[in-house]
Chains A and B, each alone.
Chain A
Amino acid sequence: MSDCIIAMKSRTAAEKAKRYAARRSRVSVVSLDPSVTRYGCSVGLRVSCSEAGRILAELERQGIEHGETIGGSL
């Protein structure tokens, strides 16, 4: 099963997102490769691509800011 990365706006947002997402999915916070950001260090949430849509919807519901999703096809 492939993994997707949801880019997060901040480390705090990533930790908050992890709390919500980890209730039903396996998630972890990862550093994003500098090639995918234009402004240096950044973090994302590694999730199973099959779960990404559900997790994104949960983040929207909770008002947790996030960026684009990298990898997989949603």
Chain B
Amino acid sequence: MRPVYLDHAATSWPKPESVLLAAEEAVRYAGGNPGRGTHPLAETASELLYACREEAADFFGSEPERTVFTPGATYSLNMAIRGLAEPGCHILIDGMAHNALLRPVLALEREGICRADVYSASADGEELLADLESKIRPETKIVAATHQSNICSRVLPVERIAAFCRERGLHFVLDAAQSAGRIPISADGWGISALCVPGHKGLNGFPGVGLLILGKDVKPKPLVYGGAGIRSLEEDMPPCLPERLEPGTLPLPAIAALLAGIRGIRAVGQERIALRERELSLLFVRGLGGIPGFRTAGETDGNVVSILHREKTPSEIGEILAQYGICVRTGYHCAPLAHRTLGTEKDGTVRVSFSASNSEKDVERILNVLGEID
């Protein structure tokens, strides 16, 4: 039986044909190492690399020179937080933060480099901003925010948080792991210092590549050092971006896939994708309302819906669904702060996450199985 894939918040699947083809073509015809030499295969690879950089920069409202390829959003967040932190500084993160953001900040605290606090991830924007304001200190340097939660569909008012930071001269780091490809983002327009994006979720690319898009005049310290293809006789990484933050060989097949993924999203439109996902999640929530014993946790008006059963644990529900080929994620989803915010820290939740590639039939299949659970 065909699996019903409802775990798009973890990674998107299946990948569009254009994405698979782009990766294959990169391996077959652009096999050189981009930025390393100018022979024909390296040249083709460099052109392909730049094409993706340019497309991604344009998609997120930035410039190619400030669009850095990373191994993924977790790396991007680590590079941004560690690269911008200074000894003695104070960092603020939101109450929906994923461990990809929380852990690098806590590590800096443990190392005695920075102090950190958590500000409210309230669904009420005024409440959120008031709490954020109350937690600012003279030594605050970085404010980070989760654009969309990975356990429910809550979206934080990040444009307002960005403006708040801009007015106070603070760095604003945005975790767009769940929102990129679904919610339009304007990196320069909003004044984002560091936009952290995965390639394999909403952008439909492969795991292994992400983006760190930097604001004008934002230059984090490198996290990793190595060859950059230029200025090889110098001891330090080259001063220019993006090469300063891109040591080692880049994963060109995954980057080619990302280029195809972004182009595919542009062809359809993020608004249309988000609308379709919302239709499916609303259909699911409406159906769930008719099944005794289940409830939702947090916002449900996006592509991510968390559910709970009055008796069975999330992992028990997940196991039953898996027996029917239905793929969901259960537990804490690497986001303990978010579960505390939603009051679901006891066992976590069953997370059902849709994409526009799902159908009404998929919703019907999961509801049928959930309906059989006592």
Contact = CB atoms under 8 A, between A and B. Distances in A.
Interface of A: 9-13, 15-16, 19, 28-31, 38-43, 65
Contact of B240 (A19, A29, A31, A65): A65
Majority secondary structure, A binding face: mixed
A12 B231 contact: no
B50 A10 contact: no
B38 A16 contact: no
Given A29-B46, A31-B38, A12 B65 contact: yes
Majority secondary structure, B binding face: loop
Interface string B240-262: 11110000000000000000000
Interface in B43-98: 43, 46-47, 49-50, 53-54, 64-65
A11 B43 contact: no
Contacts of A29: 38, 43, 46
Interface of B: 34-35, 37-38, 43, 46-47, 49-50, 53-54, 64-65, 229-234, 238, 240-243
17 contacts: A10-B241, A11-B230, A11-B243, A12-B53, A12-B64, A12-B242, A12-B243, A15-B47, A16-B50, A19-B54, A31-B38, A38-B233, A40-B231, A41-B230, A41-B231, A41-B232, A43-B230
Contact of A11 (B54, B229, B233, B234): B229
B231 A42 contact: yes
A40 B230 contact: yes
B50 A41 contact: no
